[in-house]
Amino acid sequence: MKPNLTQKNREQLFFIYFMDCQTPRKPGGGRDQTWEIAELAVRGLYELFAGRGLEHCLGFCSEPELARRQSGLLTEMVANGCWHALHFQVRGYRPPGASEDYDWHRPMTWYDYDEQREAIAIAKDDWEQSMGMAADSFGACCAQANDYTFPILAELGFRQSYCSAPGRWNPNPEVGHLWHGAFPHTHHASSTCRLIPGELELYEFPITRGLDPIPAGQPGTWTVKDCRAEAELSFEDTMAICRASVEDQMRRDHPVLYLHNPTHNTWDVGDRTSGRRRAVETTIDVGYALADELSLELTPCSLAELHAEADRLNAY
Amino acid sequence: MRPQLAQTNRTQLFFTYFMDCQTPGKPGGGRDQTWEIAETAVRGIVDLFEEEGLIHGLGLCSEPEVAARQPDLFNEMLGRGTWQAVHFQVRGYRPPGAAQDYDWDRPLSFYEYEEQREVLAIAKDHWEQALGREALDYGACCHMGNDWTFPILDELGYRQCYVSGPGRYNPDPKVGHFWWGAYPFSHHASSKCRLVPGELELYEITVTRTLNPEEVRPGVWMPTDYRPELERDYDATMAIAEAWVQDMIRRGHPVLYLFAATHNTWDVGDKSHPRRKALETTIQVSRDLADRLGLQLVPASMADIHREADLLNAF
């Protein structure tokens, strides 16, 4: 019987941007972050994207603690057309009604199946109660996850995620980045291994980044460059990363072409003089320029929409 | 429900070696190859692997034309403990009773589903008739294959194969290498895409090679391996083998293996031949690497590695 091969879309370049909305003073957040800055960041980023008619591709990915504290702000952004996700950092997480925090020094990477499933289920419920909506997308703070994470997310009903950081490798117990050899572009996740495409309905979205890991400082550790606003990359450097990623997707006949870039709620995006603000604007400019260069239509979209497009193409 | 993760075997380093037994005068073979050399090559490598106690890791992978011409040789070598596979080059292939050859200039990479299925089925039957046994293992000459190849092989009853050349990319219509981004190590193949692990029973075993392809010409990428034809020295061979195994270890690959190849285009029995020395070096490197990593070197067939992978619930 003739197999049903994966097809590819070579008309559109999908463009996704998201803000990790982290809890002030928890691991992963900015050192001097405040709740006020957290709100300014969200409002500033929304205004920037809305000003360019791109609010539809903008995601606010919030920790449960933050969704509790700023639910009004986040539901306002839902009404504005942005997509949302649960962003989760287990280190220091205190569930509603609990008397103590989860371990502040133990990344999710080291959680076994049962304890990981329990923590993520609690966090999902926590977030959903605050937001009054189902959480169908998940982001792993600091790319901390392991082989159990994808099947747990699928089991809990998540349909999209960004957990992996292909190329990052740091087995330090306080870091837990075990992504050497991870599949570099979007794919359905696997229930047997975190690194490969698989059979799960859950669709994983690695962010746009350099494809060749570089030494991360400590011997035996590797990292990759990405286009996060905090890096304040120039147009040329941003374009180099984005172009290499899309060219790699094209050379390997990846079903969908996409750019997926982040920032964090740790700075005032509304400050037009900020170098980070200019970096966000640059990322958008690069998206359009690259689409033009490759004769593609830049298509702002959410994680769920790109997942739907991948499924239409019978993507792995 | 607790998922059943892929497990890892970290006590053994599997060692598989094979000879592509190609048809003199066809694409992929040596320019001055003869049928006599083809036989001498097989006898020489079998003698060497017997002496080394590694015969069980040696595969003779023959084109249907070679199997038809030298069936007694291959049956003798089966009796001496080698594993065997169909090795197939469609360019210039003439099936039994056919009036003409398949196109001499069109790689299998450009064959659509129906025509590819037809020729692979003919070649399988041809090989099986010649050798009197079922073909369960397959090798693609010159890494020529496409998205259809794996599901077709699976459908035809193959259980193991070496088709991909991860990192090789050359879209030239006479070459047809589309392996950029292919999964670098052994895996169950996919019915949807040639590059990713998938759901098929068919287990693809990739050849040991460098992991970062070089752009050898604009738009053309090539990794390098340590086939004896390249006459690499000990250090260069060890560098490739060690980087390969270290990468598998770092990513938690279920089985650790070394998988290298040569061709039936030279006299392996000639102990003074630099290729012979390179082949001996490959064996020595494998033993030394296993020692260095505290692993047991285990000569294995493709079927053995597949079986071990399935025990480990490998992707």
Assess if residue A298 is contained within a domain.
yes
Which residues numbered 212-241 in B keep a CB inside 8 Å of some CB on A?
212
Touching check for A201 and chain B: CB below 8 Å?
no
Interface touch A5/B148, C-beta < 8 Å: yes
Assess if residue A7 is contained within a domain.
no
Residue A27: predicted pLDDT: 86
Assess if residue A1 is contained within a domain.
no
Q: What is the mean pLDDT of residues B196-205?
A: 98
Touching check for B31 and chain A: CB below 8 Å?
no
Touching check for A278 and chain B: CB below 8 Å?
no
Residue B1 has pLDDT above 90, yes or no: no
- Nearest C-alpha in A relative to B192: A5
% pLDDT > 70, chain A: 100
Assess if residue A178 is contained within a domain.
yes
Interface touch B192/A316, C-beta < 8 Å: yes
Q: What is the mean pLDDT of residues B161-186?
A: 98
% pLDDT > 90, chain B: 97
Residue B28: predicted pLDDT: 75
Q: In this structure, what are the phi and psi dihedrals at residue B139, rounded to the nearest 5 degrees?
A: -130, 135
Residue B64: predicted pLDDT: 98
Assess if residue A2 is contained within a domain.
no
Residue A30 has pLDDT above 90, yes or no: no
Residue B29: predicted pLDDT: 74
Residue B288 has pLDDT above 90, yes or no: yes
Pairing of strands B169-170, B177-178: antiparallel
CATH numbers and ranges of domains, chain B = 14-311 (3.20.20.370)
Interface touch A316/B247, C-beta < 8 Å: no
Q: Answer whether B208's CB lies under 8 Å from B240's CB.
A: yes
Which residue, chain included where needed, has tokens 């098929």?
B200
Give the C-alpha separation, B292 to B256, whole Å: 14
* A32 — pLDDT class (breaks 50, 70, 90): confident
Residue A53: predicted pLDDT: 97
Assess if residue A253 is contained within a domain.
yes
Q: Answer whether A240's CB lies under 8 Å from A226's CB.
A: no
Domain that holds residue A88: 12-312
Assess if residue A102 is contained within a domain.
yes
* B210 — pLDDT class (breaks 50, 70, 90): very high
* A29 — pLDDT class (breaks 50, 70, 90): confident
Q: What is the mean pLDDT of residues A61-68?
A: 98
Give the C-alpha separation, A140 to A27, whole Å: 12
Instruction: Give the distance from residue B311's alpha carbon to the nearest chain A alpha carbon, in angstroms.
Output: 13
Residue B38 has pLDDT above 90, yes or no: yes
Q: What is the mean pLDDT of residues B213-225?
A: 97
Instruction: Give the distance from residue B269's alpha carbon to the nearest chain A alpha carbon, in angstroms.
Output: 40
Q: What is the mean pLDDT of residues B187-214?
A: 98
Interface touch A197/B196, C-beta < 8 Å: yes
Residue B15: predicted pLDDT: 98
* A28 — pLDDT class (breaks 50, 70, 90): confident
Residue B193 has pLDDT above 80, yes or no: yes
B195 contacts in A (CB within 8 Å)? 252-253
Number of structural domains (chain A) is 1
B313 contacts in A (CB within 8 Å)? 192
Residue A150 has pLDDT above 90, yes or no: yes
Mean pLDDT score across all residues of chain A: 97
- Contact residues for B224 (Cβ-Cβ < 8 A; gap 6+): B209, B210, B214, B230, B240
Q: What is the mean pLDDT of residues B152-157?
A: 98
Touching check for B313 and chain A: CB below 8 Å?
yes
pTM recorded for the entire structure: 0.96
Residue B163: predicted pLDDT: 98
Interface touch A5/B193, C-beta < 8 Å: yes
Interface touch B183/A251, C-beta < 8 Å: no
| Nearest residue, CB atoms, B147 vs list A5, A114, A193 | A5
Touching check for A31 and chain B: CB below 8 Å?
no
Residue A22: predicted pLDDT: 96
Residue B31: predicted pLDDT: 76
Touching check for A190 and chain B: CB below 8 Å?
yes
CA quadruple B280, B286, B289, B295: dihedral sign? negative
Q: What is the mean pLDDT of residues B75-96?
A: 97
* A255 — pLDDT class (breaks 50, 70, 90): very high
A181 contacts in B (CB within 8 Å)? 184, 247, 250-251, 253
Residue B283 has pLDDT above 80, yes or no: yes
Assess if residue A4 is contained within a domain.
no
Q: Answer whether A233's CB lies under 8 Å from A209's CB.
A: no
Output the domain CATH number for residue A254.
3.20.20.370
- Which position has the higher pLDDT, A231 or A28? A231
pLDDT by residue (tens digit) across B248-281? 999 999 999 999 999 999 999 999 999 999 999 9
User: Which helix (DSSP H) or strand (DSSP E) does residue B17 occupy?
Assistant: strand B12-21
Residue A307 has pLDDT above 80, yes or no: yes
Interface touch B5/A180, C-beta < 8 Å: no
Q: Residue-wise over B202-238: b if at least 16 C-beta within 10 A, else e?
A: bbbbbbbbbeebeeeeeebbbbebbbbbebbeeebbb
Instruction: Give the distance from residue A1's alpha carbon to the nearest chain B alpha carbon, in angstroms.
Output: 8
Residue A197: predicted pLDDT: 98
Interface residue of B1, B4, B5 to substitute, partner A, most A CBs within 10 Å: B5
ipTM: 0.94
Interface residue of A5, A149, A204 to substitute, partner B, most B CBs within 10 Å: A5
Give the C-alpha separation, A54 to A47, whole Å: 10
